[in-house]
Structure 1
Amino acid sequence: MNIFFKRVFTVVIFLSYIQLTAQIPAFQDRSFVKLDHWKFSKGIDNQGHLLTKSDSSWQDVIVPHTYSMDAIKGIGYYKGQAWYRTVLKVPESMKEDRVFIRFEGVGQEAIVYLNGKKIGKHIGGYSAFCFEVTDKIKFEGKNVLAVNVTNAPNFKRIPVDDALFNHYGGIYRPVLVFSTPKCNITPTYFASSGVFIEATEVKSNRAKLEIRTHISNQSSLNEVKIKYIIRNKANEIVREAEKLFQTIGKDLIATNHMELDHPILWNGKLNPYQYSLEVQLICGNTIDKITQKFGVKTYQIDSSKGFILNDELYNLHGVCKHQEQEEVGPAMSEGQLVEDMELIDEIGATVLRLSHYQHSDRTYELADEKGILVWTEIPYVHDWSGREGGNAKQQLKELILQNYNHPSIFVWGLWNEVRAWSGEKTPPVVLTKELKKLSHELDKTRLTISASDRDIVSTMGGITDLQAWNKYFGWYTPSIDGLSNWLDSSHKKFPNTTISISEYGAGGNIQHQDINRLERPKGAYFPEQFQTEYHEKSWGIIKNRPFVWSSFVWNMFDFSVAGWNRGGVRNLNHKGLITFDRKVKKDAFYFYKANWSDKPVLYIAERRHKDRTQEKTSVKVYTNLEKVTLYVNDKKIETKKLTSDINSITFNDIRLKDGKNTIKVISKGNSLKLEDSVIWTLKKSGLALKVE
């Protein structure tokens, strides 16, 4: 159906879903080798996989690695094949075991060869894949692992084009070789943990759990025992169980039920509490073991009140994020992934939209730990070919099964800005319905969602369980106030419809400080002050409308879009609250931090507008403190109390002297003193402005 409000909803939409979740497999419980050092060659080579092929002239690289930095630097953006090769020796500990190779992410397609023989192919640049190589690997001597990679366009693969973000090539996430006993918790079921934990009932005094374990047996034994151990945060055992399975044959999905008494709920940033589950598969005298963390929660969405977490209203305000940085592209280290999540946590975000594809394992783990709810999605973005359905379903299976157990994830995203003009038989409409059905077959506990850039009713709208909208009033349209008009009229006309703003934002170049020169949305001048003003007004509109159950700033960080020439820097989307290199937090970052964070904030805005020609100016301060005192050139000017509902204080008609001026603000409390200062230079002569 093409009108999303026609569903089995009552007068007040009250969507209630119970969840319990956990992490990717703990490889520390298995023997493993991390493959970091590789040889690399860009270009077509029909002999790249052969053992007789010499790679002595190839480049030495460290994985994670991408060969698409030319897209960021604007020197070509190569879209095509490349080769990676490495030599590995199997550790003694693996000799009697089954051996596997797991790639966490290769952009965008990979054909894997071991000792000259093809072991598998994977299409899709953002999800993990795993192959068993027991019968192909040499346990004596060295093995040659070769990977043919391509980021060339493919209309049978999502995303079908790179109009909104770069399609990087390379082995840009970690690669592991690991081993298991002959009878194992299978790692090849869509490269998932093989263990799926579902909370079938959650009450204050009890949580009922269903644990499904996928078993692969290549031993001669037909009987296995599974031992389950649940520990609390203090590592104390709170529940144990064992179950015997007879006549398992080659494969088995073992199901067991357990209960938690008086469960402590995973409660967002208030208390991101996680238990741990240890699953031991005992087959004869061998044990395969996986340990995971998990959390229990419930959530609901009310069309008038908003988001409800564990039966309490919980405000969802946050950001979107691409996985890339200026110096490394998508090949981010663990330290860089941690840095990004620390910044998202610092700003006070309670929700994160991982755009527009599956992100790294570590990112989801960090969200679990910090209590940040996550919308994660497949890269079904913008344009479509009508031939990508099979790959879209594959990537959805991988997204859900590889991340099924994370407590932070609460919705599966099925598309972003996909447009259909010719009715319900249009391929993306048909595919979305199939993806929704598949999602609910794989996961009964979560809702599906999509992000539309159309109006409140559209051909693609309302197919997913939840509909959200990307709205850039004031950036791609003249007036920021259009957002309030759209929200109010939409809510009035469709009061039973849940509304989320999945993207809103404006470009901001920290080198541009003259707001009068704004050239939106595709010009060469994006003043930082306009970006800040845009967010002040937009957040003021959103925060006062509780029926907007979630909102997401686009974007947390500047990111690359090859071919763009906007805002004075090529190949860059400037809508981030932080610069691409993570070195500068823009004024808008501190605006949101003052509004979202429970940490004290005191920040002078427009600080990079250092050279001024007007003697009289204003001083704007973002703060969540009770009162602020302004000093100019060590002279106390005024103390003001915070009365703004967007946590901003402005001191007007402040006079500057010719030359350098020290602007300082101080906030004192009973046990707290914060101070911030900047230096602005007044040039009465009216010389051309210099922005540093």
Structure 2
Amino acid sequence: MRRLLSILFMLALMQPLFAQDNLIINTQGRNAVSLNGDWHYIIDPYETGFYNYRYGERNENDGGAYWNINENPEKSDLIEHGYSDEYSIEVPGDWNSQDRVFLYYEGTVWYQRYFDKPAMAEDEVAHLYFGAINYEAHVYLNGKKLGMHKGGFTPFNFEIPSGLLKAKDNNLVVKVDNKRHPEEIPTVNTDWWNFGGITRDVKLVITPQQFVQQYHIQLDQQQDIKAALENDSYQITGWLKMNKSASGNAIIEIPELGLEEALAISGDSVAVNFEAENMELWTTSNPKLYEVKVSFDGHTIIDKIGFRKVEVQGDDILLNGEKVFLRGISIHEEIAPEMRRANSRDDAAQLYEWVEDLNANMVRLAHYPHNEYMPRLADSLGILVWTEIPVYWTIDFENPEVLDKAQAQLKEMVSRDRNRASVIIWSVGNETPVSETRTDFMSTLVKDTKRMDDTRLVSAALEVGYNEGKNYVDDPLGEYTDIVSLNEYLGWYGGLPDACRTAQWETKYDKPFFISETGAGAQPGFHADKLTRFSEEYQEWYYEEQVDMFKNRFPDNFTGLSPWILTDFRSPRRNHPEYQDGWNRKGLIGNNGEKKKAFYVLQAYYKELKEQQEKAR
């Protein structure tokens, strides 16, 4: 009864956070029709298709609006826009990599395609689902505006009103605008390229009138995991959320375990609470996933979920009661050899192939939520995941509207990935400058995250304690996070790599200490002596000194690292014509796909740590 009351209390707390959230999760496990493929486009730097000459938003009766269908025009009609097969672009994908005209383009591009109505029952509803659009999207169907969304890395969807869909040739138009603004998340100043476009999958999701929209089905984090392992009996808790108030029975099935639980729904949500026996827990060495079916009124959603417990105990991070050291690497959502955003399962598999070759067991998906293929594939591979929202550098921390935008992106990230066993750390930001206003802003996000999900750790990448001699980590945000994470670049942005030999580290907090970034740049294939910046030898020396510092001069609460970064990535801030040419060169793998010398230094260190951990079991 106490556990049930705590779950109901948790549901009550969460209501304000998802009361107006219509996001549909796990579209992979639902009835969905892909709208990926070739779309038409119009480049519109003056936003002529959106604003009239008085700079007012065009309405649905305006023939000059770019979402209008110009059917059977008279020869005397004045029409100054149109879509043509000659101007086509691939979805999903960023526009920058698809045509030279887009290379450095930031602004508005109109996307258009036709589609036919899929097979649907009369009482079913269709929703337009977008995995992500960078950054601001306005969506129109058959001349009607369905809505708009801001946020370049999180999903959103719109219900298609009854009667709007036609049997044939439905005209779908999306205005995509990736311009940067001071009041947005992220803001104007970043160290990665601002790829524009419909960068992730587009789908029609078909549902009943009433359906399970979101759910949270996880191992109860309050139970004693050692006792559960000993008794081979586990408590599963969480909730189901309907798209609207409903009454009836929802069914949760885990066929492999012979489980079938009926939940009586009267309202828009219901608590989940049942026991499971003979269950294998999800671990990095045995990433066991169970098929889970969630049904309501004959409609079934299928997911694959792993069950595990992650917690902090003193200075340690525990996975299912065992100490785990995070052998991590940071990743940007890019396929560097092709100069484009990663957008497919094959892209995720390519990145994880390099991660596994490095002997890593963890990735930091920086600095924004990555494609859903990344955490889903990590689930099956047994790779731990840190994922974060793009609260980065020069955010306007005094603006309440900016906080609202950060909270919206946080909610969309957590909603999408809350059932992924691999995701163990939610991050609320990166390298934010210390001030009272900033700490209030960031701590609010930490508290929001914990209210939405208490089954994971919460952190943020800090940038304090970076001094010569003793480095004392005391960022006030560390009071709120579960682990203390620090970006440090001793030997790159200050001094030479041998500065690590005398560096001393202390932390104010009795919490796990994690190095969320460290790294040095190297142009792939450039070789010189180790004192020459941007040579592979300098980067190799940097990592040798860092590894020696981690082994011999780091505090006892050191619990892992995610160096910066797996591969070179595009950045307009990096303009040295000989060594950078628009690339951040801190990758362990070059933009040519070749491993640099430093890769093998970190690979050897991780192999040693892996073997030590295996012997300790």
TM-score (norm 1): 0.74
Deviation at 1:75, TM superposition (A): 8.3
Superimposed CA distance per residue, residues 382-421 of structure 1 (whole angstroms, 9 cap, x where no aligned partner):
112233211001001111111111111111101101103x
Aligned runs of 1:625-640 on 2, under 5 Å? none
1:45 aligns with 2:48: yes
Q: Which residue of 2 aligns with 1:125?
A: 152
Q: Which residue of 1 aligns with 2:5?
A: none
The answer to whether the 8 A contact 2:310-2:457 is kept is: no
Q: Which residue of 1 aligns with 2:295?
A: 280
- Aligned-partner SS, 1:515: coil
Measured in 1, the distance between the counterparts of 2:317 and 2:28 equals 35
Measured in 2, the distance between the counterparts of 1:278 and 1:407 equals 17
1:178 aligns with 2:205: yes
- Aligned-partner SS, 1:272: coil
Measured in 1, the distance between the counterparts of 2:329 and 2:550 equals 14
Superimposed CA distance per residue, residues 289-321 of structure 1 (whole angstroms, 9 cap, x where no aligned partner):
1111112222333555x4332222222111000
Superimposed CA distance per residue, residues 455-499 of structure 1 (whole angstroms, 9 cap, x where no aligned partner):
21235553433221101111111143444654x4415xx472432
Q: Which residue of 1 aligns with 2:61?
A: none
Aligned runs of 1:435-454 on 2, under 5 Å? 435-454=445-464
- Aligned-partner SS, 2:292: strand
Superimposed CA distance per residue, residues 105-156 of structure 1 (whole angstroms, 9 cap, x where no aligned partner):
1011111111111101110000000111042632422211100011111222
Describe the shift of the 1:512–1:35 C-alpha distance in structure 2 as closer, same or farther (beyond 3 A): closer
The answer to whether the 8 A contact 2:428-2:446 is kept is: yes
Matching residue within 54, 59, 64 for 2:92:
64
Q: Which residue of 1 aligns with 2:60?
A: none
Q: Give 5+ residue unaligned stretches, structure 1.
A: 1-22, 187-193, 520-525, 601-623, 625-644, 646-692
Deviation at 1:288, TM superposition (A): 1.6
Aligned runs of 1:282-301 on 2, under 5 Å? 282=297, 287-301=298-312
Q: Which residue of 2 aligns with 1:111?
A: 138
Kindly provide the amino acid, as one letter, of the partner of residue 135 in structure 2.
Q
The answer to whether the 8 A contact 2:200-2:371 is kept is: yes
Deviation at 1:181, TM superposition (A): 1.6
Deviation at 1:217, TM superposition (A): 5.1
Count of residues in correspondence between the two structures: 541
Measured in 1, the distance between the counterparts of 2:547 and 2:186 equals 31
Q: Give 5+ residue unaligned stretches, structure 2.
A: 1-23, 50-64, 71-80, 466-472, 613-617
Relative to structure 2, which stretch is displaced further, 442-451 or 47-56? 47-56
Aligned runs of 1:23-42 on 2, under 5 Å? 25=26, 27-42=28-43
Q: Which residue of 1 aligns with 2:52?
A: none
Describe the shift of the 1:58–1:185 C-alpha distance in structure 2 as closer, same or farther (beyond 3 A): farther
1:500 aligns with 2:510: no
Measured in 1, the distance between the counterparts of 2:173 and 2:117 equals 16
- Aligned-partner SS, 1:51: coil
Measured in 1, the distance between the counterparts of 2:206 and 2:293 equals 18
Deviation at 1:212, TM superposition (A): 1.4
Deviation at 1:598, TM superposition (A): 8.5
Aligned runs of 1:259-658 on 2, under 5 Å? 259-268=275-284, 270-282=285-297, 287-302=298-313, 304=315, 306-326=316-336, 327-385=338-396, 386-387=398-399, 388-420=402-434, 423-424=435-436, 426=437, 428-455=438-465, 456-458=473-475, 460-483=477-500, 485-486=502-503, 488-491=504-507, 494=508, 496-515=510-529, 518-519=532-533, 526-544=534-552, 545=554, 546-566=556-576, 568-581=579-592, 583-597=593-607
Describe the shift of the 1:50–1:320 C-alpha distance in structure 2 as closer, same or farther (beyond 3 A): same
Measured in 1, the distance between the counterparts of 2:189 and 2:30 equals 39
Q: Which residue of 2 aligns with 1:197?
A: 217
The answer to whether the 8 A contact 2:26-2:416 is kept is: no
The answer to whether the 8 A contact 2:332-2:367 is kept is: yes
Deviation at 1:185, TM superposition (A): 1.5
The answer to whether the 8 A contact 1:351-1:373 is kept is: yes
- Aligned-partner SS, 1:92: coil
Q: What is the RMSD computed on CA atoms of the aligned residues? A: 2.6
Kindly provide the amino acid, as one letter, of the partner of residue 429 in structure 2.
W
Measured in 1, the distance between the counterparts of 2:145 and 2:102 equals 33
Kindly provide the amino acid, as one letter, of the partner of residue 241 in structure 1.
E
Measured in 2, the distance between the counterparts of 1:463 and 1:395 equals 20
Superimposed CA distance per residue, residues 139-198 of structure 1 (whole angstroms, 9 cap, x where no aligned partner):
422211100011111222211124311221100111001211222122xxxxxxx11113
Bigger proportion of residues as helix: 2
Kindly provide the amino acid, as one letter, of the partner of residue 254 in structure 2.
I
- Aligned-partner SS, 1:178: strand
Describe the shift of the 1:495–1:322 C-alpha distance in structure 2 as closer, same or farther (beyond 3 A): closer
Kindly provide the amino acid, as one letter, of the partner of residue 218 in structure 2.
E
Q: Which residue of 1 aligns with 2:469?
A: none
Measured in 2, the distance between the counterparts of 1:215 and 1:516 equals 60
Measured in 1, the distance between the counterparts of 2:121 and 2:600 equals 51
The answer to whether the 8 A contact 1:108-1:123 is kept is: yes
Measured in 2, the distance between the counterparts of 1:280 and 1:406 equals 19
Q: Which residue of 2 aligns with 1:663?
A: none
Aligned runs of 1:122-271 on 2, under 5 Å? 122-135=149-162, 137-186=164-213, 194-200=214-220, 201=223, 202=225, 203-204=228-229, 205-216=232-243, 223-231=247-255, 236-245=256-265, 248=266, 252-268=268-284, 270-271=285-286
Kindly provide the amino acid, as one letter, of the partner of residue 368 in structure 1.
D
The answer to whether the 8 A contact 1:70-1:77 is kept is: no
The answer to whether the 8 A contact 2:136-2:149 is kept is: yes
Describe the shift of the 1:467–1:576 C-alpha distance in structure 2 as closer, same or farther (beyond 3 A): same
Describe the shift of the 1:256–1:552 C-alpha distance in structure 2 as closer, same or farther (beyond 3 A): closer
Measured in 1, the distance between the counterparts of 2:346 and 2:215 equals 28
Measured in 1, the distance between the counterparts of 2:191 and 2:150 equals 20
Measured in 1, the distance between the counterparts of 2:121 and 2:283 equals 41
- Aligned-partner SS, 2:335: coil
Superimposed CA distance per residue, residues 412-459 of structure 1 (whole angstroms, 9 cap, x where no aligned partner):
101101103xx42x2x22211211121111112222111111221235
Measured in 1, the distance between the counterparts of 2:501 and 2:380 equals 35
- Aligned-partner SS, 2:497: coil
Deviation at 1:33, TM superposition (A): 3.1
**Bigger radius of gyration:** 1
Measured in 2, the distance between the counterparts of 1:510 and 1:76 equals 22
The answer to whether the 8 A contact 2:257-2:276 is kept is: no
Deviation at 1:256, TM superposition (A): 2.9
Describe the shift of the 1:437–1:115 C-alpha distance in structure 2 as closer, same or farther (beyond 3 A): same
Measured in 1, the distance between the counterparts of 2:236 and 2:476 equals 39
Measured in 2, the distance between the counterparts of 1:504 and 1:120 equals 41
Measured in 2, the distance between the counterparts of 1:75 and 1:38 equals 16
Describe the shift of the 1:311–1:333 C-alpha distance in structure 2 as closer, same or farther (beyond 3 A): closer
